[in-house]
Chains A and B, each alone.
Chain A
């Protein structure tokens, strides 16, 4: 009996880890979309997630807008904010270096967080789970229906983005900008437009992540910073710029955290995640799926 319950516990930690890890993976994907086009690490990525969660609460809970419409409105709204970030904070910088742009994204994250605190206050908000909160018990693990939504949305986001980047000319043009901006201009690609699109896309992905995690872990104005750190960890773990890397990195990070929190103490989970991160950087600086050649060319 004892044996089974330990296995059940481990399975529980694994399930929780995969769920949290899926969110980290989505934040990491958001980082990579912008990085792949611009070489910028957008430290406001976590704020898009926070805005997604809180805007959804506003539309669905406060305004009573039906869930699907509220979902669409929220993603559109946050996408618009992503576009504004590009137009108001990134593009106006003259003769930008990658470092100044990264600092600009940090400034943007402060502004968004401040505005969110002003608007929503400091308390966390809850959102009804999409399919209720009656858990399913499976091999001794308690699984919230929302967990399935989280993993399902990760899969959908990955499939849609893969099709976009691999099959459409616009997706290819975005990758071309990352490879060689001047050559992209020479074939008639509007590089500024592609940068704007990358901000829009990753804000949209961030919003989806925020909406689906809020029923599980609530959402408050200052959650973005931590999410950005974790998502960035997932990016580094998986290899900067790699989409499969972002998913693997996010899931590994989520599972490690969940195991450490369950088996040792939740106080150590962040420290442990960092130790794993440092080990990867030490043994394979380009990340699990990163390409050393690519990381040499890139500026970071």
Chain B
């Protein structure tokens, strides 16, 4: 059996008294890309937020590197190496591109590793040359695609072992989507484990090593991408027939 980076066991998460995901059990092997597809309101974002710690009202288990992180605060989870790229980018809209990137390394900031952080910033600019060109621009004025790259760059500044991506293709032109998915593949090949959530099932299945289908807050289907691509139900509902 392959080494697991993260797994959830019977995870339930709540908004007030409303349960948004029910008994979700998933496995994310180390160094792989796992995709979760599902329609609006299926509970995809809720699942990612429950893993990253933004949602605290939950039961069941989140196990990361053999450690139970279910009840940990977001701060601690980030320090353990999980970074989330939230849905809709969620940039610091009034700060510059460079400040957004810099803040991505906030947990590691202290006087001693200034040069390390500068190296990371340079590394991120290497990945996204467009961001270097725009470094002094206020991030709220970037195009949708550039914003998504910035959101990924910010999360990558923490050099996470695992990155959680929430609908990176949302509201972005197809050509740019391809570019962003290339970045995701590159991140993965450089050793980062990826948990990807998407409504764009085709793109998500193409880059995944394994995938789950979420419906009404439950996992209804799982398998290798090519199995899911051949599944008549997936074809009809998520791939448009």
- Give residues in A with beta carbon < 8 Å to B: 169, 172-173, 175-176, 178-180, 182-190, 294
Q: Are A179 and B92 in contact (CB under 8 A)?
A: yes
**Identity of the chain B residue whose Cβ is nearest the Cβ of A294 in the assembled complex:** B94
Q: Are A188 and B158 in contact (CB under 8 A)?
A: yes
CB-contact partner of A186 in B74, B94, B95, B99, under 8 A: B74
**Identity of the chain A residue whose Cβ is nearest the Cβ of B85 in the assembled complex:** A186
Contacts of A187 in B (CB 8 A): 78, 83, 103-107, 154-155, 157-158
- Contacts A172-B99, A173-B106, A179-B92 given; indicate if A188 touches B52 (C-beta within 8 A): no
Q: Are B86 and A175 in contact (CB under 8 A)?
A: no
Q: Are B86 and A182 in contact (CB under 8 A)?
A: yes
Closest Cβ–Cβ distance, residue B31 to chain A (whole Å): 23
**Identity of the chain A residue whose Cβ is nearest the Cβ of B157 in the assembled complex:** A187
Q: Are B106 and A180 in contact (CB under 8 A)?
A: no
Q: Are A176 and B154 in contact (CB under 8 A)?
A: no
**Identity of the chain B residue whose Cβ is nearest the Cβ of A293 in the assembled complex:** B140
Q: How many residues of B contact A (CB 8 A)?
A: 28
Interface string of B10-46 (1 = CB under 8 A from A): 0000000000000000000000000000000000000
Closest Cβ–Cβ distance, residue A196 to chain B (whole Å): 15
Q: Are B102 and A172 in contact (CB under 8 A)?
A: yes
Closest Cβ–Cβ distance, residue A128 to chain B (whole Å): 41
Given contacts A172-B99, A178-B94, A185-B53, 20 further A-B contacts (CB under 8 A): A169-B102, A172-B103, A173-B106, A176-B95, A179-B91, A179-B94, A179-B95, A180-B92, A182-B86, A183-B86, A186-B54, A186-B74, A186-B83, A186-B86, A187-B78, A187-B105, A187-B155, A187-B157, A188-B78, A188-B107
Contacts of B103 in A (CB 8 A): 169, 172-173, 176, 184, 187, 189
Chief secondary structure at chain A's binding surface? helix
Contacting residues of chain B (31-89) with chain A, CB-CB under 8 angstroms: 52-54, 74-75, 78-79, 83-84, 86
Closest Cβ–Cβ distance, residue B122 to chain A (whole Å): 18
**Identity of the chain A residue whose Cβ is nearest the Cβ of B83 in the assembled complex:** A186
**How far is it, in angstroms, between the C-alpha of A11 and the C-alpha of B157 when the chains are bound?**
55
**How far is it, in angstroms, between the C-alpha of A184 and the C-alpha of B52 when the chains are bound?**
13
- Give residues in B with beta carbon < 8 Å to A: 52-54, 74-75, 78-79, 83-84, 86, 90-95, 99, 102-107, 109, 154-155, 157-158
Cβ contacts A to B, 26 pairs, < 8 Å: A169-B102, A169-B103, A172-B99, A173-B103, A175-B92, A178-B94, A179-B91, A179-B92, A179-B94, A183-B91, A183-B92, A184-B92, A185-B75, A186-B52, A186-B74, A186-B78, A186-B83, A186-B86, A186-B155, A187-B105, A187-B154, A187-B155, A187-B157, A188-B74, A189-B103, A294-B94
Contacts of A190 in B (CB 8 A): 75
**Identity of the chain A residue whose Cβ is nearest the Cβ of B75 in the assembled complex:** A188
**How far is it, in angstroms, between the C-alpha of A172 and the C-alpha of B105 when the chains are bound?**
12
**How far is it, in angstroms, between the C-alpha of A190 and the C-alpha of B76 when the chains are bound?**
10
**How far is it, in angstroms, between the C-alpha of A93 and the C-alpha of B53 when the chains are bound?**
21
Contacts of B158 in A (CB 8 A): 187-188
**How far is it, in angstroms, between the C-alpha of A187 and the C-alpha of B154 when the chains are bound?**
8
Closest Cβ–Cβ distance, residue B101 to chain A (whole Å): 10
Contacts of A188 in B (CB 8 A): 74-75, 78-79, 106-107, 158
**How far is it, in angstroms, between the C-alpha of A179 and the C-alpha of B91 when the chains are bound?**
8
Contacts of A179 in B (CB 8 A): 91-95
Contacts of A184 in B (CB 8 A): 92, 103
